[in-house]
């Protein structure tokens, strides 16, 4: 499988949450629903092939299946919360962090 980690958009997170029966999601269209079913049952080789066309969905499915904090992370993304501090002030970066969390802190602690 690929080692890159694409950014998961809020709508993708919501679709995957709904597909797996978790709170915070909403149903996708018929094609995406079938795609999520295929991803949920795909072996690693075929999942890697699906990554070429649908990297965000594969990342979200992988997170919900294998990451112990995957459901919570997807719920934060779907709700527009910062994945680090959980604030809803926004705007969030493509990585899901609010602007203060996205700013790197200097090693000496002085900004």
Does 96 lie in the same domain as 68?
no
Global confidence as pTM = 0.81
Domain membership of residue 2 (yes or no) is no
* Cβ atoms 36, 15 nearer than 8 A: yes
Residue 54: closest CA among 79, 78, 28, 81: 28
25 shares its domain with 40: yes
Domain count for the chain, please give it: 2
What HEC string does 15-72 produce? Answer: HHHHHCCCCCCCCCCHHHHHHHHHHHHCCHHHHHHHHHHCHHHHHHHHHHHHCCCHHH
Per-residue pLDDT of 22-59, as tens digits, reads 999 999 999 999 999 999 999 999 999 999 999 999 99
Residue linked to tokens 């080692």: 3
């Amino acid at each position: 499988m690929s080692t890159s980690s694409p950014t998961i958009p809020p709508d993708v997170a919501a679709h995957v949450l709904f597909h797996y029966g978790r709170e915070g999601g909403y149903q996708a269209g018929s094609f995406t629903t079938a795609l999520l079913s295929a991803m949920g049952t795909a072996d690693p080789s075929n999942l890697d092939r699906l990554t070429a066309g649908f990297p965000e969905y594969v990342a979200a499915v992988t997170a919900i299946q294998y990451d112990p904090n995957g459901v919570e992370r997807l719920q934060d993304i779907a709700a527009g919360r910062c994945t680090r501090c959980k604030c809803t002030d926004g705007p969030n970066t493509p990585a899901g962090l609010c602007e203060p969390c996205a700013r790197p802190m200097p090693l000496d602690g002085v900004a």
